[in-house]
Chain A
Amino acid sequence: MTPRVSPILAILGLLWVVVVTGLAVLKPGAIALSTVTAVLQFSTILALVALGQALVIVCGGAGIDISVGGMVSLAVVLAMLLVKAGLPGVLLPALCLAIGLALGLLNGFLVTRLRLLPLIATLGTFYVYSGAAVALTGGAAQAGVPTYLLPWGRGAVGGLPLPFLTLALPVFVMAGALLHTTSWGRWIYGMGFNERSARLVGIPVDRVRLAAYGASGALAGCAALVSLAWLGGGRPNIGQNLELTSLTAAMLGGIGIFGGRGGVFGVLAAVLLLVTLQTGLLQLNVNTVWQVGIVGTILLIVLLIDNLALIRRTSTACSHVRRQGF
């Protein structure tokens, strides 16, 4: 069963062309390598987190992860506190990843073992993780990121920022390969498309879902590492709003909210589009509040168009029972 690539990618491509052309016409000075570097740098954290969100949603079962922002914040805080407490600084990357993974696995446990609905489970952990991050530090930023990380966090090669090049891009390639070429990928799409059938066929739905939540956590840990290496300090509320923006990016990227649909490169494209749009609007000195409004409008329009295409597709094919849910 091939995962359906939605017309969303075409729409995204069109939007991107529109944004870049608009920028080129209205402010030619903005089309420069430094802009590309800036866009990629600011896309990295969102891209990593959006990928985790996408994986969780594609697995189906009303999958969603509202706690992604909280996981990033808490990973940042715990990693820094541990390093301050005496752990060697060289362990920081491993710490971020391990903490993120643990937090994600907790989410997965709540969803697969306790059978809590993902919306509720991650709502609870959202409050716990983001609240703990701020409460443990009293809101104070944690300074003292080991200096060996900073050249990586802030460096660039040929205009491409190092974290994007060495972390985000490989991760996306791996995820794409996983989803499109391995049996794990087929399982994930199968689960998302029709969970009952997947279980009947023998797919270890719960284990795969647990792994997806774990992956989301690990990716949040990666994002935490990038933020530490880039900012040089750990802010306890660094993950603020990431849950909403990662969900927006995933939806824009073609991930169907009911699961079983969409690809990771759509997510990357959506993230890049969003950040390019943000950058473009900033270059044009448009008030930042409009960004929020424009992104919301684009989300609605893109989904409307996608719906129209879906209706046209299914009306000519066999009947396709649309799943209920939110």
Chain B
Amino acid sequence: MHTHSKVVLLAAALLAVSSTFALAADKKVAFVPQIIGIPYFDAMEAGGKEAAAKFGVDFIYQGPVDTNPVDQMQIVQNLIDQGVNAVAVSVLDASSIAPVVEAAKAKRVALFTSDSDAPKSGRALYVAQATDEGLGDAIIDEMVKRVGEDAKIGIVSGEATASNLNAWIGFMQARAKAKYPKLKLLEPQFAGGTAQRAAQIATDLMTANPDLKGLIGVASTTCPGVGQAIETAGKIGQVIGTGYCSPNTARAYLKSGSFGYSVLWDPKELGYLTVWAGKQLIDGKEVPATTTPEGMSHPVTYDAKTGVLLLGEPAVFTAQNVDNYKF
């Protein structure tokens, strides 16, 4: 009995001590990507860490190992339970956060989206890299500049179930229909998450359509596959490859010529802005319509009606300027 009560006292003391530690800790902002282990989200993580250091918050980066929304939701739920103050999610689709929105509100956790949105889920706001429309338009416009208005273009996407990728494809198709009616945009094909499948499908598309002039890799995971497929097929110059690829991934193919250009934004900046937005939400500050967050080089805009915090315009990388970027 004597030792028993000693143990209980020790446990109580431990608990008391650790809870005081909890009270004294910094505010926490978390970001949950769609999947870990890809350079794009690694760059967002780097940006988030930088912002966290600057704004005095703790940054937590946790994501699922596969594109399963239940796994993603489990992570979000856990973060909410832990008492993280703001949680940003690049949602695989709306159902990734819908069930936990209420729990988040009850615990006063600011739940918002970044990089990929769930518009009607009740999220606090959406940190957008560029408008989905802007992204779709940019990639089509740049392609037409290079291949002409009546060319045939193929689309290789990643997971068929990723809502943000499908949104961009939708806008690509809308842009083509509205502005370039003679453009032949093929039905998107889905390669999953490996370079091998992307290369296989890209090659088959080129074989099936010898007059193919352009190939768009929609998911960042399809970029190497598409670029390599064009090289292996010996069609550099005949087929212009592109995608939403990071400069590091696209560099080899931009230099070899299989990629004509690549459209992206700076994911590091997006990560930075995400943590900044988290801090604003924690402090209860209103986000102004236009502002330049501390440490950023250009202003960002906010539309209170849709809750969209926009990073800016998409950037176009070419063989000329790709070396200026290191992500």
A interface residues (Cβ-Cβ under 8 A, vs B)? 25, 27-30, 32, 34-35, 38, 41-42, 45, 134, 138-141, 143, 153-154, 227, 230-233, 235-238, 240-241, 278-279, 282-283, 285, 287-289, 291-292
Contact = CB atoms under 8 A, between A and B. Distances in A.
Contacts of B22: 29
A288 B65 CA distance: 6
B74 A235 contact: no
Interface in B49-76: 60, 62-71, 73-75
A138 B169 CA distance: 13
B93 interface: yes
5 contacts: A139-B160, A139-B162, A232-B95, A233-B94, A283-B82
Contacts of A28: 14-15, 18-19
Main secondary structure of the interface of A (DSSP, over half): helix
A240 B35 CA distance: 14
Contacts of B93: 141, 233, 235
Given A28-B14, A28-B18, A29-B18, A38 B161 contact: no
* CB-based closest 8 A-B pairs: A139-B160, A231-B95, A233-B95, A282-B78, A139-B161, A232-B98, A141-B93, A34-B81
A288 B62 contact: yes
Given A29-B18, A139-B166, A141-B93, 18 more contacts: A25-B14, A30-B81, A42-B74, A42-B77, A139-B159, A139-B160, A139-B190, A140-B161, A154-B102, A231-B70, A233-B98, A236-B161, A237-B161, A238-B68, A282-B74, A282-B75, A288-B71, A291-B65
B163 interface: yes
A190 B81 CA distance: 46
Contacts of A27: 18
A233 B65 CA distance: 22
Contact of B36 (A25, A41, A230, A289): A289
Contacts of A241: 66, 68
A238 B65 CA distance: 15
A63 B283 CA distance: 57
Contacts of B64: 288
B37 interface: yes
A196 B95 CA distance: 48
Contact of A283 (B63, B78, B102): B78
Contacts of B73: 231
Contacts of B75: 282, 288
Nearest to B121: A232
B99 interface: yes
Contacts of B162: 139
A285 B161 contact: no
A231 B95 CA distance: 5
Contact of B69 (A30, A238, A287, A288): A238
A30 B78 CA distance: 9
Nearest to B102: A154
Nearest to B92: A235
Interface string B308-326: 0000000000000000000
Nearest to B79: A282
Nearest to A29: B22
Interface string B97-126: 011001000000000000000000000000
Choose among B18, B22, B81 the residue with the greatest number of A CB atoms under 10 Å from its CB. Answer: B81
B237 interface: no
Contacts of B74: 38, 42, 278-279, 282
B66 A289 contact: no
B120 to A, nearest CB: 9
Given A42-B70, A227-B70, A278-B74, A235 B36 contact: no
B78 A279 contact: yes
B94 A143 contact: yes
B39 interface: no
Given A29-B22, A288-B63, A45 B161 contact: no
Interface in B254-309: none
